Amino acid sequence: MTGMGTLAVTGAAGNIGSVVRRALRGEVARLVLLDRVPVRAETENEEVHVVDLRDADAVESALAGADRVLHLGGVPDEAPLPQLLEANVLGTHHVLEAARRTGIGRVVLASSNRVTGFYPAGHRTAPHEPVRPDGLYGVSKAAVEALGRLYADKFGLSVICLRIGSFEDAPTERRHLATWLSPRDTVGHVRAALTAPPSTRFATVYAVSGNTRRFWELPDPAVLDYSPVDDAERHAGGVPGADEPADPGSPQAGPYALPEFTLKHLRP
């Protein structure tokens, strides 16, 4: 099946990129893989590029001819703000600019649940609620979403932002019982976002498994037609502290919301 045409994936060497690559390469005519580290082509329809997302010309050259882009590249955790702005915000701008200039039909941006990490654990958060980032990384992803919205509204790009949960093979800590995103559900969310109707001009959704204890609303089928199939609760027996009562007033971000998590990236 090659219904998706040419798909480009930035951050293809990362954990999520590697899983999506294996799952979707049989569903596309051509798979263009971008990363700042070398990636080896494994099938005839794969094409690889070593690209620094800060290089706008290199990004546009690598993305030329793509029908869809899955943008996963960037700094994946808390870091000094200048580093996050350069890798995450400027890099996303270059991807969106390349899409605008070359006529790419759909851009899926990897956002994060960390854009709303300060909502309390007892609150079921919806994508339309104001952002409450739990750190500098969350701020950078809020900016990524804002760029996506701008390019959708101003230039007519079709952009879907996935607020990715805790991507793990299985949950290993108590917070994961709410935030876990399984590899299988990762592929499901990504596939649905890439193939959503062209009439979907802009959307932001939480990419999370169907966890009984989840903090976030699952996607509205009218916006993203995917229903998660995994639930972290099935793994609760092996998670330390799973039976301890949760504090509904504590931040959803858990330790990421602590001042110490960000202070080490600020000037003393």
pTM: 0.97
Domain boundaries, the chain: 6-263
One digit per residue, the tens of pLDDT, for the chain of length 268 reads 458 999 999 999 999 999 999 999 999 999 999 999 999 999 999 999 999 999 999 999 999 999 999 999 999 999 999 999 999 999 999 999 999 999 998 999 999 999 999 999 999 999 999 999 999 999 999 999 999 999 999 999 999 999 999 999 999 999 999 999 999 999 999 999 999 999 999 999 999 999 999 999 999 999 999 999 999 999 999 999 999 998 999 999 999 999 999 999 999 8
H runs (alpha helix) in the chain: 15-24, 56-63, 81-84, 91-102, 136-155, 176-179, 183-195, 259-263
Instruction: Give the residue numbers marked as catalytic.
Output: 137
Output the six-digit token pair for 46: 């794969």
Which amino acid is present at 35?
D
- Between the alpha carbon of residue 20 and those of residues 10, 50, 53, 184, 204, the distances in Å are 11, 18, 20, 9, 20
| 6-263 is classed CATH 3.30.465.10 | no
- DSSP code of residue 251: B
For residues 157 and 75, what is the distance between their CA atoms, to the nearest angstrom? 24
